[in-house]
Chains A and B, each alone.
Chain A
Amino acid sequence: SQTIHQWPATLVQPVGSPLSLECTVEGTSNPNLYWYRQAAGRGLQLLFYSIGIDQISSEVPQNLSASRPQDRQFILSSKKLLLSDSGFYLCAWSSGAGPTNTEAFFGQGTRLTVV
């Protein structure tokens, strides 16, 4: 069966420090991968999605970047964190086999607090 791992679970970082959140998927090949941010009272906001290695699409211009160095590894980064980057970050995957199997499966999330 497929599993998704996301770490760390919680993170407190000072303003201006770098960020690296990692996500890996097991049990599937060539998945679509996603990074979402969830703010209180707001829906999940799609930040980045990837349909393959080194193929990243950005949905919202911001202080963050994403990379996919391996088929089942997705990394969210920032060079200098802002207070507004605080939030709950979620990694997700969906089948890359075709558009009919499109439901996404989420990791357990990372609570990021920028201080």
Chain B
Amino acid sequence: EDQVTQSPEALRLQEGESSSLNCSYTVSGLRGLFWYRQDPGKGPEFLFTLYSAGEEKEKERLKATLTKKESFLHITAPKPEDSATYLCAVQAAWGYQKVTFGTGTKLQVIP
């Protein structure tokens, strides 16, 4: 069974204090790994898709990287508006409709 584990569950940063969120996964052949941002009471907002180990993608202060067993979401010099829950999900190669989500990392950036 596909599994996604995100750590830490919660992270509190000072504004400007860079850090990384971790997503460890187990899947029988990876078709894609996704990162989403979710604000309270809202639907998840798509950020990135990574397909193969070594791939990196960037968007503003966020950079996502992928290895064969985990993905990292690096946040450089975060701002209070980056506060949200960040979700990781994987899609197996064998059943492309099925995506397994982690429980997320709740990030709080303090001014």
Does chain A bind chain B? Answer: yes
Q: Using a CB–CB distance below 8 Å, which chain A residues touch chain B?
A: 6, 32, 34, 41-44, 46, 49, 51, 57, 59, 90, 92, 99, 102-109, 111
Q: Which of A43, A105, A111 contacts B101 (CB 8 A)?
A: A43
A102-B96 in contact (CB<8A): yes
A106-B43 in contact (CB<8A): yes
B44 at the interface (CB under 8 A from A): yes
Please give, as numbers and ranges, the residues of chain A lying within 8 Å of B42 by CB-CB distance: 108-109
Please give, as numbers and ranges, the residues of chain B lying within 8 Å of A105 by CB-CB distance: 46
Q: List 10 additional A-B contacts (Cβ < 8 Å) besides A43-B103, A46-B99, A111-B41.
A: A6-B43, A34-B97, A44-B44, A102-B31, A102-B32, A102-B91, A106-B36, A106-B43, A108-B42, A108-B43
Q: List 14 A-B contacts (CB under 8 A).
A: A41-B103, A43-B87, A43-B103, A44-B44, A44-B89, A57-B97, A90-B43, A90-B44, A102-B99, A105-B46, A106-B36, A106-B44, A106-B45, A109-B41
Please give, as numbers and ranges, the residues of chain A lying within 8 Å of B44 by CB-CB distance: 44, 90, 106
B49 at the interface (CB under 8 A from A): yes
Between A and B, how many residue pairs show CB distances below 8 Å?
A: 54
Q: How large is the interface on B (under 10, 10 to 19, 20 to 34, 35 or more residues)?
A: 20 to 34
CB within 8 Å for A107 and B43 given contacts A43-B4, A102-B49: yes
